[in-house]
Structure 1
């Protein structure tokens, strides 16, 4: 069975400085049918106003991945990192036994737009750690490109779960197959653009939770961007 999480059905938080959409239950949006999928617990699409952001707060036992789409974020944490994250960059923070951090808009005039993704680790505990990378550019990632995976995978970012995260920047008219393996679960998130999947029109913010059935190719109506989570069942 394939389940489409439509963009318009996402949870929504708007505090003035923060405008956030939640694919899965988060904060004040609680839906018992949307508590995550396999290791994937959170996909939030956030926009924060100039000069604002998330002040220092703590996490434990979670891989927290932030991908900046536009604007810039200023990250500070109790590991001693003070860094700026720009469009096309991603940070991965494993919270482990505990870490505190802040994510602030680095601009006093421009909004920051980014995705924050939480993945549940295979084992709790361990020392917190921080990684930051420049992601492959559009032409280098028109097809599925591995950007994060477990230890020993050679991926740019190292996750603490048996998860593979792939990214693609298809062009208008491209057809993307969806890789499947026995014993794995797949979640597709459309970041931007328009595509067709088995007669269904997909747009930015839509998520597709995939069952065991075979799926046709994604046919892109416009240029786009998508993330594919390949996770242990």
Structure 2
């Protein structure tokens, strides 16, 4: 049984005009052989896009068209709106409180840019290894889940389908003093996207994460208004 706290302030980061990305795991030039992933979770990026920083430059803040293969890419928007496009002409505006799943499969290209009319955009994106490589690419956008004080499945389980067996993304919006119990699965990645929570004597501020192995059902209590993101792996 293990439980490890990873401070948000210790994450590596990349900053380009109009975008700041914080990485929970090794990513690109930020290589740490001791921090390559957690189960099937190989990327957990926290992105802030600022359209005002690129005004008048002809550039839109975010990620221009780029390729992916053999990844399940799950995005949760915390603030503003993210515009997702692909070369086939598909265009989706993903607002705060919505999830999207891109199954890259044998290969796909896409872009992810801030919606200039919606101001600052913040989103958390996870990459997972698929259980069955070689699938055709697919994309699905979820509706905003109904208000709830508990954990709500937004991807995997009863949420949007993903191609990683046993993986689920759950989200909770907690008021101070409210609490939730983590799932009974053997692995959990708990991320305080906003606010602050207490978990088994550990205090998490915005950007902090805890990785738990064989610690099922732990109680998480909010000490501030908090948006909590939990990846759970059976």
- How does the TM-score come out when normalised to structure 1? 0.90
What is the aligned length?
224
Name the structure 2 match of 1:104: 113
Question: What is the deviation of 1:216?
Answer: 4.3
Residue ranges of structure 2 left out of the alignment (5+ in a row): 52-59
Distance 1:156 1:219, change over 3 A: closer
Q: Is the 8 A contact 1:45 1:114 kept in 2?
A: yes
Q: Which moved more, 1:92-101 or 1:22-31?
A: 22-31
Name the structure 2 match of 1:86: 95
| 3-state SS of paired residue (2:37) | coil
* 1:187-222, Cα deviation, whole Å (9 max, x unpaired): 111111111122221111111110224664212111
Residue ranges of structure 1 left out of the alignment (5+ in a row): none
Q: 2:174 aligns with which of 157, 170, 173?
A: 170
Distance 1:122 1:8, change over 3 A: same
| 3-state SS of paired residue (2:9) | helix
Question: What is the deviation of 1:22?
Answer: 0.6
Q: How far apart, CA to CA, are the structure 2 residues paired with 1:176 and 1:196? A: 11
Q: Is the 8 A contact 1:89 1:134 kept in 2?
A: yes
Q: How far apart, CA to CA, are the structure 2 residues paired with 1:98 and 1:24? A: 23
Q: 2:145 aligns with which of 113, 136, 153?
A: 136
Q: How far apart, CA to CA, are the structure 1 residues paired with 2:118 and 2:95? A: 15
| 3-state SS of paired residue (1:8) | helix
Name the structure 2 match of 1:18: 19
Name the structure 2 match of 1:71: 80
Q: Is the 8 A contact 1:74 1:104 kept in 2?
A: yes
1:122 matches 2:131:
yes
